[in-house]
Amino acid sequence: MIMSSFAYIACTCCGKEYKLDTWQQRCSQCRGELEVRYKFAEPGAVRKEFLSRKRSRFILQRYSCCLPFNFKRLNPALSLGEGNTPLIRAAGSNDLGIDIYYKNEAVNPTGSFKDRGTIAGIHRAISLGVKKVGTVSTGNMAASVAAYAARAGLECFVFVSKNIKEHKLASIIAYNPTLVKVEGDYGELYYRSLELGMQEGVYFINSDDLFRVEGQKTAIYEICEQLNFAAPDYIILPVSSGGNMAAVIKGLEEMHAVGLIDSLPQVVGVQAAGCRPIAASFAEGELNIKRFQNPRTVAQAIANPCPPSGRRILRKLLQGKAGFILTVTDAQILAAQKRLAKEEGIFAQPAGAAPLAALEKMVREGILKKAEKVVAIVSGSGLKDLSVINTAEADILESDFAGLRAILIRGKGV
């Protein structure tokens, strides 16, 4: 089993290294993104350990050989049942001629993939001896951190933008965190929270926290297991901060390094046309991220104008063959959301439907070939944001008791 002594922290930008027990969330030298790295001295032993743990339903135990936690110190009582999400083969949308699977992360305890990272972040906080956690978020991550903090008995602080829409607050305040609407630049709030957190003993489990990334990469481990370790050709997912795309690429590289998969899929990140900072830099071949001005999209979960892990993703994509970024319009996202619900029975939030919109675009542009295998990650539940559902457009029938029989016979053709 890979114990702490085999793992260390390193900056993905300048390479500066830190001990695993160091409380460090950005590089002290260059402010770059940090990640946990492993020394796989015996890949065969890691592979054997990986397979032996797969019966445990607690994801941090099942994949402990590739995670930075001491197996004996993991606490299943802190779990809310995250992970173990279904990989569903497409029923209706497979008319595109592609072998499509949907990894439905919407069925996690608080309705999104964030729960995987949060359980890892909570364990990290406890290992550091802190009693308070926090996050900077306006949606999925805020609800997730608040829920898991409540479970662990930790005090929780959630910083949101002063302009947050009121309907987004309900799923956060239900868990009774200290919620603060903050006036000022939302991108800078991310960095400020980390500084204040270290000073005041509050561990902020933000979007690309290195331990959050470790938890979120378990979705890739599950996908590969569910496909009997036959890696797909493409994995498509929505991209906001860049933390989850970093987790997907990292998880795949580690599985390949220890021989659990024979090839590396192309990882396709999807951004909304109305907020595409990473996609814009990728198209220009630039490593630097420019703040996206006046972001507007129905996919609020991926509307991050200044993604903190953007440069990390660009380095991976522009300097190697990990994958690429593309954009889809709001109209394409909403059409994909309807199709997912109507043909697959999966109600995704707009961001969660963006991968299907991207997949359809890739088919139209000839990027995807018939018989290729694709996994689209549905990142969050449609119940997270019902504001985009227009009931006025729905085909709703009206009837008295006498007319119900005819409707049952004729259905919508009546």
User: Is residue 274, in this structure, part of any structural domain at all?
Assistant: yes
DSSP code for 261 = -
Containing structural domain, residue 101:
87-111+212-386
Does residue 55 fall inside a structural domain?
no
Nearest to 81 by CA among 153, 148, 2: 148
Find the radius of gyration of the CA atoms of the chain.
21
Q: What is the CATH number of the domain that holds 97?
A: 3.40.50.1100
| Mean pLDDT computed over 356-364 | 95
Q: Compute the C-alpha angle 86/87/90, nearest 5°.
A: 125
Task: Identify the bridge partners of residue 8 per DSSP, sorted by sequence position.
Answer: 37
Q: Does residue 404 fall inside a structural domain?
A: no
Question: Does the pLDDT of residue 383 top 70, yes or no?
Answer: yes
pLDDT more than 70, % of the chain? 96
Residue 291 CB neighbours (<10 A): 11
What is this structure's pTM?
0.92
So what's the pLDDT on residue 4? 34
- CA 366, 298, 82: angle at the middle one, nearest 5? 85
**CA-to-CA dists, residue 267 to 22, 243, 307, 314, 361, angstroms:** 31, 13, 18, 12, 15
Note the pLDDT of residue 400. Answer: 85
Domain count, the chain: 1
In a domain, 166, yes or no: no
Q: 153: exposed, middle or buried (C-beta count within 10 Å: 0-12, 13-18, 19+)? A: exposed
Residue 241 domain-assigned? yes
182 within some domain: no
- Residue 82, pLDDT > 80, answer yes
Residue 369 lies in a domain: yes
Q: Would you call 331 exposed, middle or buried from its count of C-beta atoms within 10 A (0-12, 13-18, 19+)?
A: exposed
The answer to whether residue 32 is domain-embedded is no
